[in-house]
């Protein structure tokens, strides 16, 4: 029963898809983007974390393409300013994205108390509140509660994964999960999904992030992975 509930909350039904036509409260649209991606993000209030510039990001065919040539990790983050009323009304997310090559060697399976090679060609993270949740390591900073959606090759849909860090306050959900290549549209009910995972009402959304992590994966076809983003929308 829990599997079915989570699958519906993550992937949506036909009825949910119709609701997602509501006006976006925040949109990140790459259809007209050009120039240097790091500068483009910074001009819109985003911040580069880790080595996203090393992920070989570029704008191509109305998309943000990320094609890392090295086994690295990188993040773009956006913190919402306190008092932004429209963000307080966000209940859903819609992502238009895709993948052309998954990172070989990524593996989210196994016991959560053991180190796993939990990697992804691209993920979108949504943060809730401002209180840092324990990372589980003195070398990794605490961050707020989050729900993360990633494109995975072998993981299972409809279940929540825990990463190697932030196991108390973070949940990851695989999209596709069958090795499919191409475009995907992900629609998810954030409020209901948060309540199902953490057993409480979610704090206000405080930020979003775009993450790539291909650490300890194989180099193949001149790269470690290739994925892209077309649009992210936060919806009421």
Q: What value does the mean pLDDT of the chain take?
A: 89
> What confidence tens digit (pLDDT) does each residue in 94-122 have?
999 999 999 999 999 888 888 899 999 99
- Residue 194 is predicted with a pLDDT of 98
DSSP code for 55: G
Determine the structural domain holding residue 101 and report its residue range.
2-235
- Name the strand (E) or helix (H) holding 147: strand 143-152
Rg of the Cα trace of the chain? Answer: 17
- pLDDT tens digit sequence for 21-39: 468 999 999 999 999 999 9
- pLDDT per residue rounded down to tens, the chain (236 residues): 454 445 545 554 333 333 334 689 999 999 999 999 999 999 999 999 888 888 999 999 999 999 999 999 999 999 997 667 778 899 999 999 999 999 999 999 888 888 899 999 999 999 999 999 999 999 999 999 999 999 999 998 888 999 999 999 999 999 878 889 999 999 999 999 999 999 999 999 999 999 999 999 999 999 999 999 999 999 99
Helix ranges (H only) for 47-119 are 85-88
Strand-pairing partners, residue 192, are none
pTM above 0.85, yes or no: yes
Q: How far apart are CA 148 and CA 171, in angstroms?
A: 6
Residue 21, pLDDT score: 46
Class of residue 117 by CB neighbours under 10 A (exposed 0-12, middle 13-18, buried 19+)? middle
Which ranges in the chain belong to alpha helices (H)?
A: 2-11, 14-19, 37-43, 85-88, 190-198
Q: Quote the pLDDT of residue 208.
A: 97
The position carrying tokens 């003195």 is 138
CA–CA separation, 168 and 43 (whole Å): 33
Q: What is the pLDDT of residue 59?
A: 98
Sign of the CA dihedral 141, 72, 112, 6? positive
- The separation between the first and the last C-alpha atoms of the chain, rounded to the nearest angstrom, is 26
Phi, psi (rounded to 5 degrees) for 27: -130, 135
CA angle 96, 173, 65 (to 5 degrees): 35
**How many domains would you assign to the chain?**
1
Q: Is residue 126 within 8 Å of 208, Cβ to Cβ?
A: yes
Provide the CATH number for the domain around residue 47.
2.60.120
- Distance in angstroms (rounded) separating the CA atoms of residues 119 and 170: 15
């Amino acid at each position: 029963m829990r599997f079915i509930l989570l699958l519906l909350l993550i992937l949506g039904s036909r009825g949910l898809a119709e609701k997602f036509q509501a006006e976006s409260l925040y949109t990140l649209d790459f259809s007209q983007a050009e120039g240097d991606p790091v500068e483009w993000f910074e001009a819109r209030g985003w911040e580069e974390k880790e080595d996203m510039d090393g992920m070989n990001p570029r704008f191509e065919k109305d998309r943000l393409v990320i094609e890392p040539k090295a086994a690295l990790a990188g993040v773009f983050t956006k913190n919402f300013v306190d008092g932004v009323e429209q963000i307080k009304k966000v209940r859903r997310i819609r992502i238009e994205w895709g993948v052309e090559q998954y990172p070989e060697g990524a593996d989210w399976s196994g016991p959560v108390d053991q180190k796993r090679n939990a990697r992804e060609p691209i993920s979108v993270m949504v943060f809730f509140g401002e209180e840092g949740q324990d990372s589980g390591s003195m070398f990794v900073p605490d961050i707020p509660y989050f729900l993360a959606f990633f494109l995975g090759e072998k993981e299972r849909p409809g279940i929540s994964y825990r990463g190697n860090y932030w196991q108390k306050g973070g949940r990851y959900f695989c999209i596709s999960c069958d090795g499919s290549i191409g475009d995907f549209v992900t629609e998810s009910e954030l409020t209901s999904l948060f309540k199902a995972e953490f057993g409480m009402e979610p704090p206000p959304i405080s930020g979003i992030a775009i993450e790539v992590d291909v650490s300890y994966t194989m180099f193949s076809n001149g790269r470690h992975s290739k994925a892209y983003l077309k649009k992210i929308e936060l919806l009421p």
